[in-house]
């Protein structure tokens, strides 16, 4: 039995949950000059994982802070560096959803920062080749995972933060091997790999969207 048979439905539910949370909240940004005033409503932040950017996989994420230290996070990344002439392919696309809880004094005021833990799910597709053997898995349902995360968010200035996160859990991938023969690609068979261990590494630059939505010192 494939326990990830409905992973796409899970991602859909996560997206709906974020949408409902956003629509149900009034976006009121706290007064940065007030003393420890609790944030009312949701806070929106954009983010990008710098570790993925470095390996030429541009990505963008949205974090919705819901109050009481709770937040939803959705991430999307895609690389499309392909060359049929040299048989080199670096195509990756992924989605990730995480529900997290922040702790400490900064989990109730302004944009959250400090310690946080979370639960996440992942899915993606890829086509990888470096002029010889290649591996392809175009179906999202064949590349899924889930896990638990811990991290810490650092204040950089009034608008920017650095969020460092490590996650571990279970991941599974079903993919087809191939090799180029002339102008054709010959399959070398399907394989399945599973992994229990680290499945998430993040060092994200986080931007507070609203000018009123400042990181307090």
Average pLDDT rounded to a whole number, residues 75-84: 91
Tell me, yes or no, whether 127 lies in a domain. Answer: yes
| Cα separation, 149 vs 142, whole angstroms | 22
Looking at per-residue pLDDT, the higher value among 184 and 18 belongs to 184
pLDDT, average across residues 163-185: 93
Distances (CA, A) of 104 to 101, 154, 213: 10, 13, 19
Domain that holds residue 169: 7-25+43-208
Average pLDDT score over the chain: 82
153 is a domain residue: yes
Task: Tell me if 217 is assigned to some domain.
Answer: no
Closest C-alpha among 19, 210, 213 to residue 110: 213
Residue 181: which CATH number?
A: 2.40.160
Closest CA to 84 of 186, 185, 176: 185
Q: Is residue 214 part of a domain?
A: no
Q: How confident is the model at residue 33 (pLDDT cuts 50, 70, 90)?
A: very low
Contact call for residues 63 and 44 (beta carbons, < 8 A): yes
- How many domains does the structure of the chain reveal? 1
Residue 102 belongs to a domain: yes
pTM of the predicted model, to two decimals? Answer: 0.77
Residue-level pLDDT at 100: 96
What is the pLDDT at residue 130? Answer: 87
* C-alpha 5, offset from chain centre: 21
Q: Is residue 74 part of a domain?
A: yes
Tens digit of each residue's pLDDT (9 = 90 or more) over 130-142: 878 899 999 999 9
Extract the runs of DSSP E, i.e. beta strands, from the chain.
43-49, 59-67, 70-83, 88-102, 114-130, 134-137, 143-155, 160-181, 184-208
Residue 35 counted as domain residue:
no
């Amino acid at each position: 039995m494939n326990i990830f048979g409905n992973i796409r439905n899970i991602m859909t539910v996560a997206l709906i949950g974020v949408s409902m949370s956003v629509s149900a909240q009034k976006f009121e940004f706290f007064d940065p000059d007030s003393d420890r005033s609790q944030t009312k409503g949701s806070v929106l932040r954009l983010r990008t994982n710098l570790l993925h950017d470095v390996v030429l996989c541009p990505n963008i994420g949205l974090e919705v802070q819901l109050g009481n230290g709770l937040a939803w996070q959705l991430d999307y990344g895609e690389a499309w560096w392909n060359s049929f002439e040299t048989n080199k392919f670096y195509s990756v696309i992924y989605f990730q959803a995480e529900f997290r809880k922040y702790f400490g004094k900064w989990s109730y005021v302004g944009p959250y920062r400090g310690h946080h833990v979370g639960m996440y799910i992942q899915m993606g597709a890829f086509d990888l080749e470096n002029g010889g053997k290649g591996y392809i898995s175009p179906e999202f349902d064949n590349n899924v995972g889930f896990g638990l995360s811990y991290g810490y968010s650092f204040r950089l200035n009034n608008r920017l933060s650095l969020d460092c996160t490590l996650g571990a859990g279970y991941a599974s991938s079903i993919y087809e091997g191939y090799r180029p023969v002339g102008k054709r690609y010959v399959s070398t068979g399907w394989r399945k790999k599973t992994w229990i261990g680290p499945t998430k590494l993040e060092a994200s630059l986080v931007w507070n969207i609203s000018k009123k939505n400042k990181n307090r010192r």
